[in-house]
Amino acid sequence: MQIESIHNSSDTPWKFPSQKKIGEYTIRFEDLVEFAQGSPLIGYLYINDNKIGKHDLFGAPFLLKGDYLYIPKFTRRFWMSGFILCKINVRTGQTENMSKIKSLIYLHCVDNGKILYYTDYSKSKEEACAI
């Protein structure tokens, strides 16, 4: 079955629906919280009621291309916390980290085989990652 793709999104890291139905898939966030005052929302991610990662926390917006969901994954390492661009196979739930840690990953769109995203609130610093 062909999956509907989401190549760009009007959602923000601070305001997005906790659940979306896309084709045969339901993508849902639970226990959404700010990890610091005014920070992007993060929570547990479920695809068709299957939790992705045991303790992993994810944010929004996300993009969908084919069988893959591209989404910011929250991470905390020693003295640093932030987001990594994560690729999730929606059929298997397998995850792959695609970027280095950034203070913000604000996904914009899929364009010419690349994920375009911003690393700041004002959308002035754009980066790209090949898919």
Task: Please give the pLDDT value at position 121.
Answer: 87
Task: Say what the pTM is.
Answer: 0.89
Give dist(CA 99, CA 120) in Å, integer. 16
Confidence of residue 116 (pLDDT cuts 50, 70, 90): very high
Apex 122 CA angle, 78 and 113, nearest 5: 80
Mean residue pLDDT of the chain comes to: 89
CA atoms within 13 A on the CB side of 128: 8
What are the pLDDT digits (tens) for 23-54? 889 999 999 988 777 789 999 999 999 999 99
Give dist(CA 112, CA 93) in Å, integer. 25
- What the block records as the tokens of 79 is 């003295």
